[in-house]
A = this chain, B = another copy of it.
């Protein structure tokens, strides 16, 4: 088994390496709120364990083995978030912090039974796909709201980052995943957007639009 700390690094690497060919030590340090020197040490350790490809001064990536572990932690995190929202009724703005702790609990039976109890969910409360036991993970077809063209329509299917203040704002506006959205016009001055959500007109700031993920409806 790996320590909580090692698991945090692997998960971090998974999130940061998406798209990129390598992740810099500094990026990891920033993401985990640690010093680059600490990160450097840990990367060496993870490389020794064959979980990370680490080239001095050149950045790191997960090995296949490391990626599978990372995906398993993400699976646990997202299943727990689903449980906390769906079964316990905890706000989607608060579950991340709790799931950060629960994801390190080590019991395969627990996770498989939890998955069954939840009905094998594909998507967590923030719209992120839940990796399967074997490490496969769905890729969703979604765009940032800010990248939509005027008159395009779609469904709100996720948030880019589940910052509590964003989620609380969406709650207050009664905006939920699954709601339909229709881009009416772009305001040039401040890059805010006029949209219709569930047929109700509303203006969303640039920052909001940069964090809402939309599945565009074609045809």
Say how far A51's CB is from chain B's closest CB, in angstroms. 22
**Cβ < 8 Å to B, chain A residues 70-122:** 84, 87-90, 94, 97-98, 101-102, 105-107, 109-110, 113-114, 116-117
B88 lies within 8 A of A114 (CB): yes
Say how far A219's CB is from chain B's closest CB, in angstroms. 43
CB contact under 8 A between A88 and B105, given known A98-B110, A110-B98: no
Instruction: Please name the residue on chain B nearest to A100 by beta carbon.
Output: B105
Say how far A37's CB is from chain B's closest CB, in angstroms. 24
Name the contact of A101 in the complex, choosing from B84, B105, B114 (C-beta under 8 A).
B105
Instruction: Please name the residue on chain B nearest to A109 by beta carbon.
Output: B90
A107 lies within 8 A of B113 (CB): no
A110 lies within 8 A of B87 (CB): no
Residues of B within 8 A of A117 (CB): 87-88
Chain A contacts to B: CB under 8 angstroms = 84, 87-90, 94, 97-98, 101-102, 105-107, 109-110, 113-114, 116-117
Given contacts A88-B116, A90-B109, A98-B105, 11 further A-B contacts (CB under 8 A): A84-B110, A87-B117, A88-B110, A89-B113, A90-B110, A94-B109, A98-B107, A101-B105, A101-B106, A102-B105, A105-B105
